[in-house]
Amino acid sequence: MGRELNPSIGSFDIKEWAELVPGLIGWTMLNISMACEQAVRRGGRITDSMLLVLLFQGWYVFDALWNETAVLSTMDITSDGLGFMLTIGNFCWVPFTFSLQSRYLAFNHVELGPVKTLAICSLQALGYWIFRSSNGEKNDFRNGQNPKNLTFMETKRGTKLLTSGWWGLSRHPNYMGDLIMALAWCLPTGFNTPIPYFYLFYFTTLLVHRQMRDDAHCAKKYGDDWTEYMKRVPYRIFPYIY
């Protein structure tokens, strides 16, 4: 998909810039704009639900920018060329659809209260912990480090596949964390309409498709070794579910 894999001007990586600046930072700016709209309508203050969406999604973007080196090992950077799909995705799709929760809350003022706020915060913390720690294990291992002494299996190609830690629970534990966070981002909007949950539905479809695509690629790449690996790590994303 796409054209050139990593187009650049000198040392300036165009695709990485498109991922982080118009996509993630544009998304954050739209969220802030929606919070300002709500504040104007409410006499200068925002709801607890809007605050949660700002904090959760803002932290996600900050984390991506702070851990920018981890972005370099994602499928968008390593596998997909910078063509129509990624260009439209980064400049239009990400900022304007990922901000639907704040857009909804700007005009529908949902107050959660302390109990619901605490429950949603706990769910967000769980998802972030799984997302960050599993990605940390992967990035350390790819860089030749194994501080947790995780087990792995050798392949005939000479590469290694993790079989313990988060990567022993499922083949894509980072996707599990991502989806738990996606649910936490949508819950502050309540249940009056499915529109703010579009992100969750879309992201689930995207990550399941990526998982299937990755499994097919690895089966072709590793052959019998991949069959053995699937026996050791049978679950795709959610342990004991999928």
Average pLDDT, the chain: 87
Other C-beta atoms lying within 10 Å of the C-beta of residue 209: 10
Q: What is the pLDDT of residue 180?
A: 96
**pLDDT digit string (tens) for 7-20?**
667 777 777 777 77
Q: 13 forms bridges with which residues in the sheet?
A: 8
Q: CA-based angle 4:9:12, to the nearest 5?
A: 100
| Residues 6 or more apart whose Cβ sits within 8 Å of residue 116 | none
Q: For residues 96-101, give the mean pLDDT.
A: 92
Q: What is the pLDDT of residue 190?
A: 93
Which stretch of 64-73, 82-91, 135-144 has the lowest confidence by average pLDDT? 64-73
Q: What is the pLDDT of residue 63?
A: 85
Q: What is the pLDDT of residue 64?
A: 82
Q: pLDDT at residue 38 above 80? A: yes
**pLDDT digit string (tens) for 185-210?**
999 999 999 999 999 999 999 999 98
